[in-house]
């Protein structure tokens, strides 16, 4: 599955001028819908809708055909449609085409504007929804970036140390008895020592190895701090904790040899550990919205929220997933105008606000109206500062 990442979100968010078309549609993994090409027909009907819209805007047929060429090719790709998930998002602009499989169903929707409609993708980035996974074995180490969709391996430069002996030398190998050379009465003799003493030496070597791992990964993790989960055999976890200098190491790890566990299983275990962490953060932010209601720290007015989002003032934004507010924003005068319905010249103000909050390091939540912190309004914003 081609998943959606924060970097890809940032790329799409940069499109703020020129014609941009966003397509959303539910898809099917198997069944009669796949055999009857239901998903392909849905997209073809959406393309017809876009063609009609662009003709009304004055675009010529050749320009429309060129603009939608990559999309039309995809509609006839049988292999593509036989390998779908629950939903699909597609984005078309001049010189740009991208699609992303979604782990949840979406309603069919087409959005034509001077930027992409990214609000439905917020759940993939909710609470950042992102983390790191470090898989540790004495002979294999890997670092992944993860979210609720899956895990992506990170290839570091300099590379991660892979084998303990490459860091501490070849003499680390397990022995239940070791020996040291010495002299007694002028004669060379071997002195043997037992497993307890050897285990202490081995622990020091492993600690040294893990410090080398920590030294490589921490600068990378600090570029975008997220929780770090470690997967390792249980006796290795406390040693890594002793070596760790990263501030966001998660307080629970995944036990068992990670090299013997499928990546999908490791991902699920990570998400099981972190789901409560992300939910707790959402609850804490919702509580702050309620505490600071009717003060300069919060707002339910989209006219205030949009410019604040653009200025990086919004720490958290809660949106009614079903509500839409149409209008225009004038950046020169920082003025927001609300309009009763969508037309060819306006935009989704909630989409604009959500994009800007995420770009500026804030958090966005799409919820049902009744679960909003202040449920009397479709937009709830918590500001970083008054």
Contact indicator for 182, 191 with CB cutoff of 8 Å: yes
CA dist 18 and 353 (Å) reads 19
Identify the CA nearest to 97 among candidates 63, 67, 53: 67
Distance separating alpha carbons of residues 77 and 214, to the nearest angstrom: 45
Supply the DSSP symbol for 377: S
∠ Cα 367 371 372 (to 5°): 75
What are the φ and ψ backbone dihedral angles of 76, each rounded to 5 degrees?
Answer: -100, 10
Identify the pLDDT of residue 176: 42
**Count of CB atoms within 10 A of residue 30's CB?**
9
> Which residue ranges form the domains of the chain, and what is each CATH number?
6-117 (3.30.960.10), 131-277 (3.30.420), 292-383 (3.30.1330)
The DSSP result for 167-220, as a single string, is HH-GGG---SSEEEEEEETTEEEEEEE-HHHHHHHHHHHHHHHHHHHHHHHHHH
- pLDDT value of position 275: 85
Contact 123, 109 (CB under 8 A): no
Per-residue pLDDT tens, the chain, 386 aa: give them: 555 778 899 999 999 888 999 999 999 988 888 888 889 999 999 999 999 999 999 999 999 999 999 999 999 898 999 989 889 999 999 999 999 988 888 999 999 999 999 999 988 876 556 899 999 999 999 999 988 778 888 988 888 988 887 776 655 455 444 444 444 444 444 444 444 554 777 888 899 899 999 999 999 999 989 999 999 999 999 999 999 999 999 999 999 999 999 988 999 999 999 988 888 888 999 999 999 999 999 999 999 999 999 999 999 999 999 999 999 999 888 899 999 998 878 999 999 999 999 999 899 999 999 999 999 999 999 999 76
Q: Residue 157: what pLDDT?
A: 85
């Amino acid at each position: 599955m081609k998943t959606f990442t924060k970097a890809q979100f940032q790329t799409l968010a940069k499109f703020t001028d020129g014609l941009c078309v966003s397509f959303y549609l539910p898809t099917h993994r198997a069944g009669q819908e796949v055999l009857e090409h239901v998903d392909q027909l849905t997209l073809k009907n959406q393309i017809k809708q876009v063609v009609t819209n662009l003709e009304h805007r004055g675009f010529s047929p050749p320009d429309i055909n060129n603009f939608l060429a990559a999309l039309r090719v995809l509609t006839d790709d049988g292999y593509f449609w036989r390998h779908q998930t629950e939903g699909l998002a597609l984005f078309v602009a001049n010189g740009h085409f991208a699609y992303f499989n979604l782990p949840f169903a979406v309603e069919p929707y087409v959005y034509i504007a001077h930027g992409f409609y990214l609000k439905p993708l917020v759940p993939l980035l909710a609470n950042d929804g992102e983390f790191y996974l470090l898989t540790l074995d004495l002979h294999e180490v890997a670092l992944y970036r993860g979210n609720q969709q899956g895990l992506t391996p990170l290839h570091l430069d300099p590379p991660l140390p892979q084998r303990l002996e490459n860091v501490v030398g070849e003499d680390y190998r397990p022995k239940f008895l070791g020996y040291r050379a010495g002299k007694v009465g002028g004669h060379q003799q071997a002195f043997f020592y037992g497993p307890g003493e050897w285990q202490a030496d081995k622990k020091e070597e492993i600690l040294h190895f893990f410090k080398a791992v920590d030294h490589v990964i921490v600068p990378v993790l600090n570029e975008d701090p997220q929780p770090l989960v470690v997967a390792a055999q249980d006796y290795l976890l406390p040693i890594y904790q002793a070596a760790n200098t990263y501030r966001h190491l998660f307080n629970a790890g995944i036990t068992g040899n990670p090299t013997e566990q499928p990546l999908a299983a490791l991902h699920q275990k990570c998400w099981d550990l972190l789901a409560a962490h992300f939910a707790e953060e959402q609850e804490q932010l919702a509580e702050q919205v309620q505490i600071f209601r009717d003060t300069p720290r919060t707002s339910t007015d989209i006219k205030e929220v949009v410019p604040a989002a653009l200025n990086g003032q919004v720490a958290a934004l809660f949106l009614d997933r079903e509500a839409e507010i149409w209008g225009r924003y004038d950046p020169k005068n920082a003025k927001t105008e609300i309009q009763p319905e969508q037309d060819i010249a306006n935009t989704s103000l909630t989409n604009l606000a959500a994009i800007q909050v995420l770009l500026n390091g804030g958090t966005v939540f799409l919820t049902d109206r009744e679960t909003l912190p202040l449920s009397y309004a479709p937009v709830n914003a918590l500001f970083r500062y008054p």
